[in-house]
């Protein structure tokens, strides 16, 4: 099974299905959606009332010129009424616009809230095999930008769709029913602008995406230059770096220019089309006024209508853009949300019951990429129980860490069985399994929070005492004591930066605090010096009595005292026994032992060679 992003996105259905799915998500908040749509309708109608009121105001003001003085008061009263209506319509339009905009945003944000939680929950539950194959940056993009694209669809897509439909539809009806030819002329710019705006938007979207990518390259070049500044300086590569940057900047600038040109070409032509239509209305309308078939007020009404319609018509492009964006971003987001974790509790899974922490691998085989891929482990069997320890050694890629990953069910075995106290790890709950089996990884992840929060990661409700005990067990307490803020010191850029060895010691403390039934040390002392490692091992002796321990290491000193050592090569156990018996055996283990002891002597011939070269 592979999760490459192309594969991932294919299964989600067509664009219409995706958009419909977003609509369904909105409908979870149907009360608010109803208010938003209702308010949109009302706001649009009030807005459409404004040109008519303006028209009648003009006619009202003109009315007196043709009639007797007797109606002067009536004309004034009519004007007063029109002004009041106009003010009222404006206020109500404003209020309902507020409601529909706010509700549109609110529905979008609430839907985003639901999606954010669902996405986070999904990521936490997806298995290692998924996370191995999908790039971190890719997931972050989906959870942030793509989710944002889906959220925006509510206000920029759905609500706007309603608004534009009503404004343009009802507006067009009113204009056409007043005067067919003049109405048609007033609307003549609509199809052209709508078409231009949609085409340009889609083109601009493509250009924008391409530009973002090129800007990303520039960002990466700058970032690497700053991070690797010592390499740059050491090689005197400033000019090379400037040239590299210049090339990327030129490529980005080219697109940036193209984007501006495309945008400007389309916006200016749209404005021009609008004004041409206005000119035609002015001309034909003017002729009708001259003929007496139309009042000046009617003409004003047409012109005012056009002004009101101009913006919504231009926004049709944004609408198209919003639909396009929502369907691509929705596809990418739902692709993740629809995944099922490959590793989960079986129906009826029971909690793991620990009797004497007896770990047993029976003929375990495993391949990372499924049955067709080369196996990482092949027929591995061993036993280890409470108070005992197993050492695993072997060249890189021999499958050492894989053994650890299978025991905690980060992956499931392809063949064979792993049991703890007779219970298949696949038959117990993940929660109970991972509470009892803990791994200290080689490259632990430290969080940007206080040291104590980092140590208490597995049990945030731990008492101070157990945190300090764990820290002293891992030989990190003295160091923490030297920090002005002690356990409250933040880890990271603004706090304390830790060496590899210190990080590993935090990870040991983090794990030891939880008192697991099975403890796996996966090369977790590699960056700790031999002396400290020795001390940690002494201190671990007591807790190790209550658990089964598996050591994985390339440093033989770490494994020396294990009750059994297995030597892995190509996923198979090639040798097994105690340190002494393996050395005596004279095989691969003994070879490695000799190599590690002789690395120093091996290089002894160096100086004479080098002197030879120099002379």
Partner 1 sequence: MTATTDGAPDQPERGRPPRAYVGSQISQDEEMFGALFDGGVVRRFMTYVRPYRRQVLLAIAAVLVVTGAQLAIPLIIRFGIDDVLLAEGGNAKLLALVVAVFAAVITVNFGANWLQDRLIGITGEHVIFDLRQAMYAHLQDVSLSFMDKTETGRMMSRLTGDVNSLQEFLENSVTAFGDLVLLFGIVVIMLSMDFGLGILTLSVVPTLFIVRMIWLPRARVAFRHARETNSSANGALAEGIRAVRTVQSMRRESVNFDLYDEKVQENLNSHLKSAQMAQVMVPIVDTLTGAAMGIVILVGGFQVLDGALEVGVMVAFLFYVQRFFDPIRSLTIQYSVMQRAMASGKRIFEVLDVPLAIDDAPNAFNPDSIDGSVEFRDVTFSYVKNQPVLQDVSFTVAPGETVALVGPTGSGKTSITSLLHRFYEIDEGAVLIDGRDVRDYAKAALGRHIAMVLQDPFLFTGSIFENIRYRTVDASREDVERAARVVGAHDFISQLADGYDTILEEQGRNLSLGQRQLLSFARALVADAKILVLDEATANIDSHTERQIQVALKRLLEGRTGIVIAHRLATVRGADRIIVLQSGRVVETGPHDALVAQGGLYARLYALNYASFDDVPDEQIK
- Chain residues 283-302 in contact with partner 1, contact rule CB under 8 A: 283, 286-287, 289-290, 296, 299-300
Cα torsion through 502, 506, 512, 516, rounded to 10: -120
Calpha distance 175→338 (Å, rounded): 48
Q: Which is nearer to partner 1, 267 or 381 (CB)?
A: 267
Residues 372-431 that bind partner 1 (CB under 8 A): 395-396, 408, 410, 431
Residues 511-540 that bind partner 1 (CB under 8 A): 514, 526-527, 529-532
Contact segment (CB under 8 A) with partner 1 among 6-14, 72-80, 415-423, 538-546 equals: 72-80
* Residue 611 binding partner 1, by CB under 8 A: yes
Contact segment (CB under 8 A) with partner 1 among 8-16, 487-495, 564-572, 580-588 equals: 487-495
Calpha distance 439→557 (Å, rounded): 20
Among 375, 391, 399, 444, binds partner 1 (CB under 8 A): 444
- Compute and round to an integer the Cα radius of gyration of the chain: 37
Of 557, 600, 597, 559, nearest to 578 by C-alpha is 559
* Residue 487 binding partner 1, by CB under 8 A: yes
> C-beta of 200: minimal distance to partner 1 in Å?
13
Helix or strand (DSSP H, E) at 423: strand 423-424
Q: Which is nearer to partner 1, 14 or 598 (CB)?
A: 598
Tell me how many residues contact partner 1 (CB under 8 A): 168
Among 20, 173, 195, 275, binds partner 1 (CB under 8 A): 275
> C-beta of 540: minimal distance to partner 1 in Å?
19
Give the list of residues 6+ apart from residue 300 with CB closer than 8 angstroms, or none.
51, 54, 55, 58
Cα torsion through 587, 588, 590, 596, rounded to 10: 160
Among 445, 482, 542, 580, binds partner 1 (CB under 8 A): 445
* Residue 327 binding partner 1, by CB under 8 A: no
Q: Which is nearer to partner 1, 331 or 510 (CB)?
A: 510
Q: Which is nearer to partner 1, 492 or 563 (CB)?
A: 492
Query: SS3 letters for 362-396?
Result: EEEEECCCCCCCCCCEEEEEEEECCCCEEEEECCC
> C-beta of 319: minimal distance to partner 1 in Å?
20
* Residue 232 binding partner 1, by CB under 8 A: yes
Contact segment (CB under 8 A) with partner 1 among 22-30, 355-363, 412-420, 445-453 equals: 445-453
DSSP 31-100: HHHHHHHHHHHHHHHHHHHHHHHHHHHHHHHHHHHHS-GGGHHHHHHHHHHHHHHHHHHHHHHHHHHHHH
* Residue 457 binding partner 1, by CB under 8 A: yes
> C-beta of 12: minimal distance to partner 1 in Å?
21
Calpha distance 54→45 (Å, rounded): 15
Residues 131-170 that bind partner 1 (CB under 8 A): 131, 136, 139-140, 143-144
Calpha distance 504→474 (Å, rounded): 9
Q: Within 10 Å of residue 605's Cβ, how many Cβ atoms?
A: 9
Indicate the SS3 state at residue 519.
Answer: strand
DSSP 316-345: HHHHHHHHHHHHHHHHHHHHHHT---SS-P
Among 213, 235, 481, 586, binds partner 1 (CB under 8 A): 235
Q: Which is nearer to partner 1, 205 or 434 (CB)?
A: 434
């Amino acid at each position: 099974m592979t999760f490459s992003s192309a594969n991932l996105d294919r299964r989600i259905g067509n664009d219409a299905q995706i958009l419909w799915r977003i609509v369904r998500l909105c409908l979870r908040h149907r009360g608010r959606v109803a208010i938003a749509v209702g308010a949109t309708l009302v706001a649009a109608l009030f807005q459409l009332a404004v040109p008519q009121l303006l028209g009648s105001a003009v006619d009202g003001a003109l009315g007196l010129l043709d009639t007797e003085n007797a109606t002067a008061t009536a004309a004034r009263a009519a004007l007063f009424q029109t002004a009041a209506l106009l003010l009222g319509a404006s206020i109500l339009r404003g209020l309902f616009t507020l409601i529909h905009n706010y509700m549109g945003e609110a529905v979008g944000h609430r839907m985003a809230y639901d999606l954010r939680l669902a996405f986070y929950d999904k990521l936490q539950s997806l298995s290692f095999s998924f996370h191995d194959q999908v790039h971190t940056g890719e997931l972050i993009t989906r959870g942030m930008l793509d989710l944002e694209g889906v959220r925006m669809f509510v206000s920029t897509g759905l609500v706007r769709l309603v608004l534009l439909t009503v404004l343009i539809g009802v507006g067009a009806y009113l204009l056409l029913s007043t005067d067919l030819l003049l109405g048609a002329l007033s609307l003549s710019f609509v199809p052209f602008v709508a078409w231009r705006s949609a085409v340009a938007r889609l083109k601009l979207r493509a250009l924008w995406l391409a530009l973002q990518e090129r800007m990303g390259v520039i960002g990466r070049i700058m970032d690497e230059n700053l991070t690797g500044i010592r390499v740059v300086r050491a090689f005197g590569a400033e000019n090379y770096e400037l040239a590299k940057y210049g090339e990327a900047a030129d490529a980005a600038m080219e697109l940036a220019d193209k984007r501006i040109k495309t945008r400007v070409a389309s916006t200016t032509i749209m404005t021009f089309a609008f004004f041409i239509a206005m000119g035609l209305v002015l001309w034909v309308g003017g002729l009708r006024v001259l003929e007496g078939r139309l009042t000046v007020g009617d003409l004003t009404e047409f012109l005012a209508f056009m002004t009101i319609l101009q913006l919504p018509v231009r926004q049709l492009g944004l609408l198209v853009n919003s639909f396009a964006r929502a369907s691509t971003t929705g596809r990418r987001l739902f692709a993740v949300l629809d995944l099922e974790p490959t590793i989960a509790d079986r129906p009826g899974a029971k909690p793991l019951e620990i009797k004497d922490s007896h770990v047993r691998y029976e003929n375990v085989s495993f391949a990372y990429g499924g049955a067709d891929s080369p196996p990482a482990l092949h027929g591995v069997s061993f036993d280890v129980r409470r108070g005992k320890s197993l050492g695993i050694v072997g060249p890189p890629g021999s499958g050492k860490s894989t053994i650890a990953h299978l025991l905690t069910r980060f992956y499931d075995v392809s063949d064979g069985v792993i049991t703890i106290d007779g219970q298949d790890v696949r038959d117990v709950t993940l929660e109970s399994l991972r509470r009892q089996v803990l791994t200290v990884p080689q490259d632990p992840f430290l969080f940007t929070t206080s040291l104590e929060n980092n140590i208490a990661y597995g049990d945030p409700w731990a008492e101070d005492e157990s945190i300090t005990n764990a820290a002293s067990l891992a030989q990190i307490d003295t160091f923490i004591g030297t920090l002005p803020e002690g356990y409250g010191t933040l880890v990271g850029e603004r706090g304390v930066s830790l060496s590899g060895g210190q990080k590993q010691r935090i990870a040991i403390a983090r794990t030891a605090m939880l008192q697991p039934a099975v403890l796996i040390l996966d090369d977790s002392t590699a960056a700790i010096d031999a002396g400290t490692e020795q001390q940690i091992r002494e201190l671990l002796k007591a807790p190790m009595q209550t658990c089964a321990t598996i050591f994985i290491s390339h440093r033989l000193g770490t494994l020396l005292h294990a009750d059994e050592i297995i030597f892995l090569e190509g996923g198979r156990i090639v040798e097994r026994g105690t340190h002494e018996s393996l050395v005596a055996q004279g095989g691969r283990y003994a070879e490695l032992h000799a190599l590690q002891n002789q690395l120093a002597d091996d290089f002894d011939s160096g100086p004479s060679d080098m002197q030879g070269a120099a002379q």
